[in-house]
Structure 1
């Protein structure tokens, strides 16, 4: 188990530009301030899995801290009794909630006989994203509806970020996505779009690559999964 523990009070520096964060509950304002020193935006704070520990959901994923905010814990925490990764279990409700809020901004490939809905953070230039897309019929035939969320790997301001805005703003966004996954040029089209907010949401889940699949349970699966293997996991309600 790899983890890094840093004494925040002994860092001896402040970030050049403190992260803009949501107002913390009064009892957690010290956590917000300490994390700002690390350029981390605090989205939510709650009691952690151990005594005197807090779990902090940030714009860059889940971290843990001592209740007084002195110690910052980066890495995985394992529950040996229940044989599970605490980080993943704690993230699931948060991911599920955030993805539900973004439902209106997805590009959907709906299964005719829908049994399950998955959300996939995608990038049209990603090889395994194209492989997943080329097998869309397999997912749909298995009863799996696929909803795409934007995650331009190059970040905000990249060429892919601009391309994804064009895709989301095109009247036929599905057709534009199909064309982009085939490597075709997309005609410029700009509008108010969710690409930036979806990318930032993915970062807050700790995503740093594509495809990244979100199951209905809120479980995050990094990387490509063939339809048969994915269906087995969905049927197991994992």
Structure 2
């Protein structure tokens, strides 16, 4: 009997070692949420855990599959939100796949050079989105290019149709600015990326507009982003930190 138990223990241990992070996470998650789908799973900075994306949420699963933690992980010594670091990486990689053909770009014009670029998930009927865009000339004057991605929220009925109409207009940049000032963009339709971008936002855990992301994929707090001066200073700080790190 003792010999049999030893064999079983060794067999079980071999199974655990052979299991990939995704398999361990999937098995653990299915035990508590059978219909949940694991999108990504990998080694975590947190010792003894894998980190994974389930839906749009980050979770941590112990390597033996026994514990599942839902929430942010912090490196206290270095004062770093590890979950936000991982989420930023996922966002950066996802945004890199969204070409200029799916963005509405407001870039600085000569003689002002583009020093920084931010990506903004926006909704035409969002009051704070409109306030942000009212200052677009000031952002551009400070060398900040703004790449808009449509994300009409369900709390704004009809915002998706307005986004599609802007996208299908002859001059998207002009139509976007007019729509953000309250003008009806009409009802034009054509093949457009609105639904695709909304799905992308949801998959990245974005649930509000405007959501402003820096070049590194990190979300910039609204209290900073809504000020052209503060946003420029924050982007300068991030750029300097990235250069120093490399």
For normalisation by structure 1, the TM-score amounts to 0.80
**Residues 1:65 and 2:61 aligned together:** yes
Q: What are the within-5 Å matches in structure 2 for residues 93-108 of structure 1?
A: 93-104=89-100, 105-108=102-105
**Equivalent in the alignment of 1:109:** 106
Q: How many residues align?
A: 213
Give me the CA root mean square deviation.
2.4
> Compared with structure 1, are the counterparts of its residues 181 and 48 closer, same or farther at alpha carbon in structure 2 (3 Å cutoff)?
same
More relative contact order, 1 or 2 (CA 8 Å, 6+ apart): 1
Deviates more, 1:134-143 or 1:123-132: 123-132
Shift of residue 69, structure 1, vs aligned partner = 4.3
- Cα distance in 2 for residues equivalent to 1:203 and 1:236: 28
**Equivalent in the alignment of 2:210:** 211
- Cα distance in 2 for residues equivalent to 1:150 and 1:61: 22
**Equivalent in the alignment of 2:129:** 129
Q: What are the within-5 Å matches in structure 2 for residues 11-160 of structure 1?
A: 28-29=22-23, 31-32=25-26, 34=29, 37=33, 40-104=36-100, 105-112=102-109, 113-154=113-154, 158-160=157-159
Deviates more, 1:115-124 or 1:158-167: 158-167
Measured against aligned partners, the alpha-carbon deviations of 1:141-200 in whole angstroms (never above 9, x if no partner) come to: 000000001111217x94212221222222322122112211111222222222122112
Structure 1: segments with no counterpart, 5+ residues:
1-24
Report the structure, 1 or 2, having the larger strand content. Answer: 1
Q: Any runs of at least 4 consecutive aligned residues in structure 1 with deviations exceeding 4 A, and if so which?
A: 38-41
Measured against aligned partners, the alpha-carbon deviations of 1:125-153 in whole angstroms (never above 9, x if no partner) come to: 11111111000000000000000011112
Shift of residue 32, structure 1, vs aligned partner = 4.1
For normalisation by structure 2, the TM-score amounts to 0.77
Q: What are the within-5 Å matches in structure 2 for residues 179-190 of structure 1?
A: 179-190=178-189
